[in-house]
């Protein structure tokens, strides 16, 4: 039977396949870019961190999440009891002005997040253009 006048027929299987591929590709891109952003932030924070003993800078790490298939995580301070004081400040062992937004790790993470957003927009644009 022919479609009524003015009706549009669509093969939704193509749309479904495209959406499935897009979700898969963007999921992979977010995983790769998430770990890349964490690694970039860790490198920048280590470079900016004070190196009196090097323990604080050495504690700044990017770690894969979920065995590497769920992005990355930026960590700092493991085994360094004074890490929060270096990053944020406080009264002990001597006064260091408190900076709520951090000095090294948090600013580096914020900068890497901006790059992550830009790369994800580019990945989404690239994937949607492949369907043309």
Confidence label for 80 from pLDDT (cuts 50, 70 and 90) = very high
Q: Residue 100: what are its φ and ψ, rounded to 5°?
A: -60, -35
Decide: helix, strand or coil at residue 5.
coil
**Does pTM top 0.85 for this prediction?**
no
The ranges assigned to domains in the chain are 22-130
SS (H, E, C) 70-119: CCEEEECCCCCCCHHHHHHCECCCCCECCCCCCCCHHHHHHHHHHHHHHH
Mean pLDDT across 90-115: 91
What is the rounded distance in angstroms from the CA atom of residue 120 to the CA atom of residue 30? 7
């Amino acid at each position: 039977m022919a479609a009524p006048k003015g009706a549009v027929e669509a093969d939704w299987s193509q749309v479904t396949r495209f959406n499935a591929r897009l979700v898969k590709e963007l999921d992979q891109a977010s995983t790769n870019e998430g770990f890349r952003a964490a690694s970039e932030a860790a490198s920048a924070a280590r470079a900016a961190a004070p190196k009196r003993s090097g323990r604080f800078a050495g504690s700044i790490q990017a770690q894969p999440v979920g065995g590497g298939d769920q992005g990355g995580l930026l960590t700092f301070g493991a085994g360094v009891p004074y890490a929060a004081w270096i990053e944020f400040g406080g009264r002990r062992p001597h006064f260091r002005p408190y900076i709520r937004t951090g000095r090294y790790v948090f600013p580096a993470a914020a900068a890497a997040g901006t790059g992550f957003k830009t790369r994800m927009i580019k990945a989404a644009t690239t994937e949607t253009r492949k369907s043309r």
